[in-house]
Structure formats: C-alpha cells, structure tokens
C-alpha cells in the first residue's frame, strides 16, 4: 500500500467562521479569506486498497439510488392522489356545466 506524508494545518475562513484542514502549501495559505490557526503537523496517510475503495463507491451509489427511489415513490404517490381527487371531482364538474 502506498504511503504519503503531508504537512497539514487548520485554516479559518474569516468571513464565515468555518475551519478546514489542508496542506500547508495549499492555496489557503495565499487566499486572504483564510488565516492559519494551527501549527503545521506532519501526517502519514496510508492509501486504501483499490478493491476496498471501489466497494465503498458502489455502496455510496446504492445509497444515492435508494434515496432517489424513495423520493420518486413519494412524488408518484402524490401525483396519484391528485389524479384520484381530479377524477372524484370530475362528476361534480360535469354536473356544473350540464346545468340548463
């Protein structure tokens, strides 16, 4: 497995107040909207195996699909209810226009 050492630190977004962790030499150092609020730390990252990463990506996509399917089913049920309401009103609407 590949290992990589990065020198990182914490930066504060001055306007919005959130913090990010980034490499010391990243654009956060040059962006006037961020200030460094910690001392740099050297961290060793061990890369995960390709199979493990692919499986996690697939799981993530499955969760997205489930979420979209759930939202779609709710929307379909809403449309069916509206359709049923319109069909139920259909007789009343016809009676109004059939008056003479």
| Mean pLDDT for the chain overall | 90
**pLDDT at 1 (0 to 100):** 73
Q: How far apart are CA 91 and CA 100, in angstroms?
A: 16
Dump pLDDT digits (tens) for 6-59.
Answer: 999 999 999 999 999 999 988 888 899 999 999 999 999 999 999 999 999 999
Q: Which positions ≥6 away from 1 have C-beta within 8 Å?
A: 46, 47, 48, 49
**pLDDT at 90 (0 to 100):** 73
| Sequence ranges of the domains in the chain | 1-47, 48-100
Dump pLDDT digits (tens) for 49-78.
Answer: 999 999 999 999 999 999 999 999 999 999
């Amino acid at each position: 497995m590949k290992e990589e050492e990065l020198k990182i630190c914490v930066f504060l977004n001055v306007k919005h107040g959130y913090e990010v962790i980034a490499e010391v030499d990243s654009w956060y150092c040059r962006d006037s909207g961020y200030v460094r609020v910690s001392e740099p730390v050297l961290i060793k990252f061990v890369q995960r195996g390709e199979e493990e990463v692919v499986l996690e990506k697939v799981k993530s996509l499955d969760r997205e699909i489930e979420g979209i399917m759930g939202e779609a089913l709710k929307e379909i049920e809403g449309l069916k209810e509206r359709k049923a309401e319109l069909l139920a009103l259909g007789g009343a609407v016809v009676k109004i226009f059939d008056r003479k």
